[in-house]
């Protein structure tokens, strides 16, 4: 049985199917990685720009909280 010809395997749009003796092999082109359990191709390049933005937001939030706490302590600002 040729699973590639019958479209039984490697059904994602970026997938390339290669028929082997008694089985098949799936792969992806142009820098993509094939995930067999999900039958999909994902990018090998990981970009973590959003996560670094979140880290900086947390750091700046903690710094602002510290400055506000110091101002309340130093000047005894009453709310």
Name the pTM for this structure: 0.48
Do β-strands 23-28 and 15-20 pair in parallel, antiparallel, or remain unpaired?
antiparallel
Tokens standing for 57? 């937001």
Q: Can you give the pLDDT at residue 44? A: 75
Give the pLDDT score at 61.
96
How confident is the model at residue 30, as a pLDDT? 79
Q: What is the pLDDT of residues 59-76, one digit of tens each?
A: 999 999 999 999 888 887
Q: Which residue has the tokens 């510290």?
A: 66
Q: How confident is the model at residue 50 (pLDDT cuts 50, 70, 90)?
A: low
Pick the more confident residue, 6 or 58: 58
Query: 3-class DSSP state for residue 30?
Result: coil
What's the average model confidence in pLDDT over 21-32? 86
């Amino acid at each position: 049985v040729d699973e590639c010809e019958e479209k039984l395997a490697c059904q994602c749009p970026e997938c390339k199917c290669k028929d082997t003796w008694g089985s098949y092999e799936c792969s992806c082109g142009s820098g993509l990685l094939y995930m067999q359990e999900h039958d999909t191709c994902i990018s090998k390049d990981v970009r973590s720009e959003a996560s670094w933005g979140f880290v900086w937001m947390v750091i700046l939030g903690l710094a602002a909280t510290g400055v506000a706490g110091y101002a309340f302590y130093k000047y005894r600002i009453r709310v």
